[in-house]
Chains A and B, each alone.
Chain A
């Protein structure tokens, strides 16, 4: 038979296989890194209409989370405070600050302040703040050290796998109920102590975090 294929074509199948392997691996690695919440959502830090500084109000002044997010232990959603909550203090302090103009306007006109949403779970996910904070899961586990944030940014990926990490090992995050809103609290016994007490809490409080679909999807 005459030479149909040149000699270099002998290596072609191998080259193709190697190329496809490298290409697919790179692609998958790329997708895994760039197209997952860990990359696309963590660090999201939109500019709010009023540059409310959590590190100042909570960290320095010592406001409790529930002063503003007062329904967090009564409802699925942790409410964004109404303008009148801000005005409780700011009708007396910094009454002519330009930065607070939108709040004063909202208070006067009744039009809401359009805060940018930082944390968002999909519509088919039903997360309840109430169920977590009342049972000893601190704000910090999902929202990070908000008390140190000048501008609130998205701290955790909030992907389903990330949720399940906790639901499978609740002992790693459970704390005394009175320390839930103390974002600086860490177990004095370190990781070991946390797990030991965590297991105790799981038992004492009859904690059974759902790991099946119906827990979050309705």
Chain B
């Protein structure tokens, strides 16, 4: 398409050369000339006699080449920037994994971090550690987003002026001189508890160097009571109880959420799940009793659950102890215990007695687990009970934990008050925000001459400090820690500090005046002194493994009953709460903890495991209290029965706002009615209502610290409605299964009698999936490739691939902790959508936890006070005959050869037909460009600024496409991990034919993070794979299998293990009772307590299974 050059009869001033002068520099450079030559060949080489047409051609090209714009003419240049010198071990495009640990208070969780070209992108558990075995918590999973938080503190400051790293070093050096001169008098340090051996070493060095200094430690939820009790009853100050569920076949949790909130929760989850993972009806299973005021995940897993105010726990433990053989110590204890136990109502006493009986029958293999926040009296009683049950050194051990002496925040406050502190160092924590209500820490800080604050965020405390030192994230700094059991964990930096932050140990070392104050040297020398100078080689092995087995030393001390009696003598058992004198229970929020994660969008949007609230906290009250307050309108009985009791309008939950008053202090917040709470205990999650935080956390919830004195629960509170309403953002309004067999449950007894109970529940018992007669003799492996059609006329996808992927989820061990939700979010670049969008039901999580309540009531006219909970993780089921695929007009969702239900984002035009046709409601639509736009400016459309902050971009997984507005997305079974494993196997095979990926090589993100190994992913075509075995297990069932969707994800029915002797024994799980009632209630001949067994003979059921919520 060449054209002859056409010379315009131009006037002199418009001719070429004049224009050229303006581009002189560019055009005359040899580089430019060379480029032009190469691009256009000889034609364009006549630069000196250039005409207008040529000029424009060249100019466009030069713009494109120079990257100055006009990119439309040419693809924009992009560059490849290789290293100057190739770093060792690095393979561009391949992730590298480093071991580190997630420190949170007294525990460090061993982790592996996936890094891409030096940029951490994903947190995985360290599967080599024998206790944690790769499990993680949602908080650990979300650490990546904290690291790349654009709102984190970016500079050290003095007042409002920025100071450099060198200034910080000078400051700390001058403090060291000053402290040395005064011997530490007038000096105080306020820190959080920590498991780090280096911190401990430096703390001791600090107290040695400055003997008159004060060292205070403070955690919002204090966990020191167990140690106080152990010291009292054994006479040894350093002892603490450590629990071990491995051999515990009977567990009593006393206000203890050991599956989620307690320290060591991941390890406990693994141990608990091991005792519960039945594979056949002959297997043994542990039994969990839970007494609690809140409705925790541990309560949800319990076989027997008793609602009781936290203040009554001492009485409850006394009632348990009374039933045991106390031996000679009984004489001194009996009267005290009886008077305590007498405070309980008879029903609770009976419950405690029967429970104690069961525990006594399992001496040495049972456990009484006392919640960390309970009083020393409760812990002392717990230790006594455990000793009498023969559990000491079996399921509970007293171990020596050296934490060095420290004082409480109250002592520090009174020191400041008396004017004896003139220099205060605050090491992380945020006391101005979270100090106990009696202490006005902001005012106290003003009394101190000089406040140096080390903090990750420039928050409330930094505002009041003279100096703010930016803290390095744990992924940026050297450090160490200990697991719950005491193993050393290495904490390695994944990346240089993004904003010149320094770590806590580096600050301390400089304060103490250590010569080598860099993190590596500090950790190295601690390691050498703790491990007998084993040298660099041992240290490198430690870093490589990520941990070093070194349990705390177990003490042989016995529990002295006399000391327990002594402790209890002065104890006044508080009266049970009533409507006028409510008990308030404070707990670290499931998402934002004590407030430290409030600016983390993943955690903010992660639904609370039980309330399913996001972005806010709420005043959680029991249905009884709600009724007393008249919150639920009397004419809404049916709605009450069928829906969330909280007022729901247009799918949004409108909550009444109330004010709680304790000791003259007030806090106002929205009410959420939560079934399963103790009647007159109000649960307030801490951590919200921050006044100075980043964009995500601002305006989120209310601060319950305003009314919280030191302990985790207070009495004598009143609650008054203000009349206002607030719109909460909840991800699950509906709580009933409506009698459908979505989660299938049976008691252990039923399971032992009828191993195939799951097949006798649900519509499939009447109308099984259409496989046809041919399928009866087929194995799973044949079925998943050949997909027998029965009478169906639809074509099925060609499932010829080498592998056939499938997943099995064991509902018997899933605790509903939400770790998988965050792991998936991190792995798959899933955006957060903000409070407003969640209210509209647009959250994007690919996997969710459905939480159902079921109660003994069959008429459903009251909100259940004491329901059972069933939790179920739901992600895309990858149906073999997927309903979404048949309705897509553009083939954007299709099957691949290996049974994955694929989603081609580039084809998707956003009709949302697929979401409409999905019976599991797992498809997620990008209503907005959530990744590119600010969440408060979504509705401004193109007028809003576009682009993801650079820091957040670094958190993205480069192996997964970032989706844009207008496309559908959903779980892909982590197709990126599948492909990487397949490619690695193929590369290994080379010219050979062994391309089958071995079982267990692929761990999908949710499976990897799961602290109970409830999720198993693998190849169904391999008859020996774990997932094939589980799929053929008698407890496996397909969710809504009668729809003939043939899901590749199957669930394993839940088995409860109640004790027939207990007063609250139910012969059937309540969801099964409800199922039987709803689906067979009209049949007179069936008792509602029997499983329906004659499926074939019934043809006139009014089964309500057809509807989906």
Q: Which residues of A contact B (CB under 8 A)?
A: 40-41, 44-47, 71, 73-77, 79-85, 106-107, 109-117, 120, 123-124, 126, 128, 130-131, 134-136, 151, 176-177, 201, 204-206, 208, 210-215, 217-218
Contact = CB atoms under 8 A, between A and B. Distances in A.
A77 B1094 CA distance: 60
A206 B993 contact: yes
A119 B904 CA distance: 23
B567 interface: no
B987 A126 contact: no
Contacts of B31: 47
Given A44-B75, A113-B82, A124-B905, A134 B990 contact: yes
Contacts of A176: 991
Given A126-B976, A135-B986, 6 more contacts: A83-B84, A120-B78, A208-B995, A212-B902, A214-B972, A218-B976
Nearest to B86: A82
A76 B992 CA distance: 20
A208 to B, nearest CB: 6
A29 B906 CA distance: 24
Interface in B964-1009: 972, 975-976, 978-979, 983-984, 986-987, 989-995
Nearest to A212: B896
A26 to B, nearest CB: 13
Contacts of B992: 205
Contacts of A213: 894, 896, 902-904
A218 B802 contact: no
B92 interface: yes
Nearest to B92: A79
B619 to A, nearest CB: 43
Nearest to B32: A47
A77 B84 contact: no
A112 B83 contact: yes
Contact of B94 (A47, A74, A123, A208): A74
Given A74-B94, A210-B896, A213-B896, A80 B80 contact: yes
A115 B979 contact: no
B801 interface: yes
5 contacts: A75-B91, A110-B84, A205-B993, A208-B802, A217-B905
Q: Which 6 A-B pairs have the closest CB atoms?
A: A212-B896, A77-B93, A112-B81, A206-B993, A75-B93, A134-B987
A77 to B, nearest CB: 4
B877 to A, nearest CB: 16
Contacts of B896: 210, 212-215
Contact of A82 (B65, B85, B983): B85
A73 to B, nearest CB: 7
Nearest to A203: B993
Contacts of A44: 75
B983 A130 contact: yes
B845 interface: no
A218 B93 contact: no
A109 B31 CA distance: 23
Nearest to A218: B976
Contacts of B979: 126, 128, 214-215, 218
Contacts of B995: 205-206, 208
Main SS at interface, chain B: loop
B993 A112 contact: no
A208 B987 CA distance: 14
B959 interface: yes
Q: Interface range on chain B: under 10, 10 to 19, 20 to 34, or 35 or more?
A: 35 or more
B78 A117 contact: yes
Nearest to B85: A84
Contact of A212 (B93, B895, B959, B978): B895
A217 B906 CA distance: 9
B961 A123 contact: yes
A128 B894 contact: no
Contacts of A117: 77-80
B629 interface: no
B905 A85 contact: no
B309 interface: no
Interface of B: 31, 34-35, 38, 65, 75, 77-86, 91-94, 801-802, 894-898, 900, 902-906, 959-962, 972, 975-976, 978-979, 983-984, 986-987, 989-995
Given A124-B961, A212-B895, A218-B961, A82 B83 contact: yes
A218 B960 contact: yes
A139 to B, nearest CB: 16
Contact of A112 (B34, B84, B897): B84
A40 B64 CA distance: 14
Nearest to A201: B991
Contacts of B904: 213, 217
Nearest to B901: A214
Nearest to A112: B81
A76 B906 contact: no
Nearest to B31: A47
Contacts of A126: 959, 976, 979
B998 to A, nearest CB: 15
B970 to A, nearest CB: 13
B894 A47 contact: no
Contacts of B895: 212
Contacts of A75: 91-94
Contacts of A110: 84-85
Contacts of B894: 212-213
B84 A217 contact: no
B993 A73 contact: no
Contacts of B983: 76, 128, 130-131
A102 to B, nearest CB: 11
Contacts of B993: 204-206
A80 B82 contact: yes
Contacts of A212: 894-897, 902
Nearest to A84: B85
B990 A177 contact: yes
A157 B83 CA distance: 29
B570 to A, nearest CB: 65
Given A47-B38, A84-B86, A214-B975, A71 B93 contact: yes
Contact of B986 (A41, A114, A131, A215): A131
B73 to A, nearest CB: 10
Contact of A124 (B34, B906, B994): B906
B84 A111 contact: yes
A6 B84 CA distance: 78
Contacts of A205: 989, 991-993, 995
A27 to B, nearest CB: 15
A205 B996 CA distance: 12
Contacts of B77: 46, 116-117
A120 B75 CA distance: 10
A155 to B, nearest CB: 16
Nearest to A130: B987
A47 B35 contact: yes
A116 B79 CA distance: 5
A130 B989 CA distance: 12
A58 B216 CA distance: 69
Given A40-B75, A47-B35, A77-B92, A204 B991 contact: yes
A115 B79 contact: yes
A87 to B, nearest CB: 9
Contacts of A80: 80, 82
Nearest to A106: B84
Contacts of B65: 46
Contacts of B987: 73-74, 130-131, 134-135
A80 B80 CA distance: 7
Contacts of B83: 82-83, 112
Nearest to B903: A213
Q: Counting chain A CB atoms within 10 Å of each CB, which of B35, B894, B986 scores highest?
A: B986
Nearest to B802: A208
Contacts of A106: 84
A126 B993 CA distance: 23
Nearest to A68: B82
A65 B894 CA distance: 38
Contact of A214 (B79, B902, B986): B902
